Every structure is written in structure tokens, then in C-alpha cells.
Amino acid sequence: MGASGVTVKEEQEQVEAAKPVTDRSAVDPAARPRHLTRLRVPHRPRLWFELLLIAVSYGIYSVIRNAAPTQVDAAQRHARWIWDLQGHLGLDFELAVNHALAGVTWLIVALNYYYATLHFVVTLAVLAWLFRSHPGRYGATRLVLFATTGVALVGYYFFPLAPPRLMEGMGFIDTAAVHQTWGSLSTEGTAMAEVSNQYAAMPSMHIGWSLWCGLTLAVLARPLWLRILGVLYPAFTLLVIVATANHFWLDAVGGMLCLAFGYLVSRLWYGRWCYRLPRRVPAEPAAPDEPAAHPS
């Protein structure tokens, strides 16, 4: 202890306190968490950012999905295992549905184009509707879709699965190839077949995305007819993926599980279910150190 009665430890603490602070978090332990908290609060979406995010995310998803190892033998083995399991359950109805509808040319061609187009068109339309009419719920609901799609990549990578139309010796009809449509987007001999991983069938994102669209419309839409369409859309999509021999119904179950994971991620991040968040949020106030804008 010095003459002034200050201990050596106290002197060291005073010296440390006098040093300039270079780490903001040392002064304000809540500085970093505050930024994280802001990300977890619903805010008004920006159109340019959302368009860029959707484009980049889908590009990354496509690259990773198609870069998954093309293990043909494993994919055929897994498909046979799925088919046998469904047979034990007495629910191996895909072949019967495929053959029944493949003989109705106008119908199966329409289903081929449904499979190829509405998967993207309806999903983008629902995103646009959310952006315009439910901006406060947009971010959380969009996170559901992104998390669902992200976890699906795990299935594509670790569980290659031949779709029914590519199963060997089973007699499924590849309706897109037979009718020369681009409904499957990966018919043998086309440019898409060279760049698309045709054995990324489990889980089915046609079901994951369509169910996300359907639930969003059924819960948030006001017109009764739109809510009814929301209920029918994923159900009809299930018929389409089976009739065109692009998926087993168990692939649809996989898509539903991925969607459940997506809702859980959004719930944990925002602290509330996405549909229970405020419909609209106020404009973000200017930062304290920024002067308020004056009308000219």
C-alpha cells in the first residue's frame, strides 16, 4: 500500500481504466447483441435487396443441389428401398396413377407444364404478395422458405434417390419424355439433363414450396376463394408429382418435414410464429447521430 493509501491492485485498475478503448464491446457489452437484436425485429423489406437475395440464394441452391454426387447405384438402391417400404404399407400407388393419367394426353401434358412452371411462378407470386400486403410478416415468412430449402440440400447430398421415372425395370412412364414437353426439366438428351442432378428427389421441394404457399394463403388471405386455393394447391401438386413420376409420396413427406424445420427456425429467430407478427411495421427512424430529413 502506498503513502496515499492506494493499493497496487487499485493503481493497476486505474491505469487500465485510463487506457484508450479500441474495442467498442469493452465499453458497451450490449453493442454487438444490439445489432443482432435489430436483425430479429420485423422491419420494412427493401425491394432491391429482396430481389438480389432471392436471385443469389436460388443460384447457390441450384449450384449446391447439382453439385451433389451423382451416385446412380445408391440412388437406384434407395428408390427400391422406398418402393418396397411403401409396398409393405400398402401405399405403393404411384405406378397405377402414373399409367392411368399418362394415357390422357391433354391432361398429362398440362401436368408436365404445371410441374415445370407453377413451382416457381406461384412461389414468387406469394413472395410478392407478402412484400406488398404483409411487410411486417415478410421477413419471417421468407426465412421459413429459405430454411426449408437450405435443409433440403442435406437430403440431396446424403440421400441420392432416383425418381420413379428413372427406376430400372419398374415400368414408370417419363411423361415429359414421351410427350416431348419440358415438364421434367431433365429429360434425357436435353441440355438440362447435362447440368441438373436428376437424383435429387428426396425431399420434394415441389411439396415443400407449394405447402408453404398454401399455408401462407390459407392463413393470411382474406378472400375465401384465395384461401381455398391455398388449401388445394399443395394437394394438387402432390397429384402432379406422382402422375408425372417425378417423386414418390414419401418424398412429399420429406418436403413437409423440411418445411416444419423452416417454421421452427423462423419461430426461434423472431420469437413468434411468422403469421402472428404485425402485418405492418413503421418506417425505421433515423439514427440518433443522423439529422432528420427536411422537406425541400
- Does any domain span residue 61? no
- Does any domain span residue 117? yes
The string of DSSP letters for the chain reads --TTS--HHHHHHHHHHHSPP--HHHH-TTHHHHHHHHHTS-----HHHHHHHHHHHHHHHHHHHHHS---HHHHHHHHHHHHHHHHHTT---HHHHHHHHHT-HHHHHHHHHHHHHHHHHHHHHHHHHHHHH-HHHHHHHHHHHHHHHHHHHHHHHHS-B--GGG-TTS----HHHHTT--SSS--TTSHHHHHS-TTB-SS-HHHHHHHHHHHHHHHH--SHHHHHHHHHHHHHHHHHHHHTTS--HHHHHHHHHHHHHHHHHHHHHHSS-GGGS-S--PPPPPPTTSPPP---
pLDDT tens-place string over residues 12-40: 544 444 444 344 444 444 444 555 566 66
Domain that holds residue 259: 82-276
Domain count, the chain: 1
Whole-number average pLDDT of the chain: 82
- Does any domain span residue 60? no
* Stretches in the chain below the pLDDT threshold 50: 2-4, 6, 13-32, 285-296
- Does any domain span residue 224? yes
pTM: 0.79
- Does any domain span residue 7? no
pLDDT tens-place string over residues 218-248: 999 999 999 999 999 999 999 999 999 999 9
- Does any domain span residue 42? no
- pLDDT of amino acid 170: 92
- Does any domain span residue 72? no
- Does any domain span residue 163? yes
- pLDDT of amino acid 17: 42
- pLDDT of amino acid 163: 94
